[in-house]
């Protein structure tokens, strides 16, 4: 699955509507979007490395929070690739859900993986504050998040 499987204009419109920005034609300048996309990609790579380090040393709270960060940065990167900036948790969640729904009709299995990744990321973010998940579940959820992030990157994070 790559971005060429989807019409870029349709993806951008789906992101715009999901993010709550209902003003048609209100998009970032290409240079600004490219800069943000690069920053989100770098942040996501950093958080991913830190999450892995945290898991190795048994710091499941930090691994959980950094995994949420990886997911949020991936969704923001997809938004920026289509010239929209996502600034809130709500926008990240709504856009992730909208992109999942976009994949659903043509690839239900991948849509399920994206949906599980979104749910896992939200659970891990909550776990950071609550500390309520067992370590083996945290490790499993982190893996689901990373799988979803890889799918998001493949499908939606490329400029057209």
DSSP notation for 20-68? T---TT----HHHHHHHHHHHHHHHHHHHHHHHHHHHHT-HHHHHHHHH
Average pLDDT over residues 89-117: 95
Q: How far apart are CA 145 and CA 64, in angstroms?
A: 10
Taking the mean position of all CA atoms in its chain, how far away is CA 80? Answer: 12
Tell which wins on pLDDT, 41 or 10: 41
The answer to whether residue 23 scores a pLDDT higher than 70 is no
Residue 3 pLDDT: 39
**% of the chain beyond a pLDDT of 70:** 91
How far from 112 is each of 1, 43, 144, CA to CA, in Å?
A: 14, 25, 11
**Ramachandran angles phi, psi of 84, nearest 5°:** -125, 140
For residue 57, what pLDDT band results from cuts at 50, 70 and 90?
very high
Burial grade of 9 (CB within 10 A; 0-12, 13-18, 19 or more): exposed
pLDDT, tens digit, for every residue of 108-152? 999 999 999 999 999 999 999 999 999 999 999 999 999 999 999
Residue 2 pLDDT: 45
Residue 64 pLDDT: 98
Work out the mean pLDDT of the chain and round it to a whole number: 91
């Amino acid at each position: 699955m790559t971005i060429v499987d989807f019409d870029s204009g349709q993806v951008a419109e789906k992101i715009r509507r999901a993010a709550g920005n209902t003003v048609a034609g209100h998009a970032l300048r290409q240079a600004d979007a490219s800069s943000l996309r690069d920053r989100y990609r770098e942040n996501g790579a950093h958080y991913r490395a830190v999450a892995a380090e945290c898991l190795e040393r048994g710091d499941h709270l930090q691994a959980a929070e950094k995994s949420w960060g990886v997911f949020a940065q991936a969704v923001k990167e997809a938004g920026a690739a289509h010239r929209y900036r996502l600034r809130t948790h709500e926008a990240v969640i709504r856009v992730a859900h909208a992109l999942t729904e976009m994949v659903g009709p043509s690839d239900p299995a991948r849509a399920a993986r994206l949906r599980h990744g979104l749910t896992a990321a939200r659970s891990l973010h909550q776990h950071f504050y609550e500390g309520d998940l067992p370590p083996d579940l945290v490790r499993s959820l982190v893996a689901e998040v990373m799988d979803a992030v890889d799918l998001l990157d493949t499908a939606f994070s490329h400029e057209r």
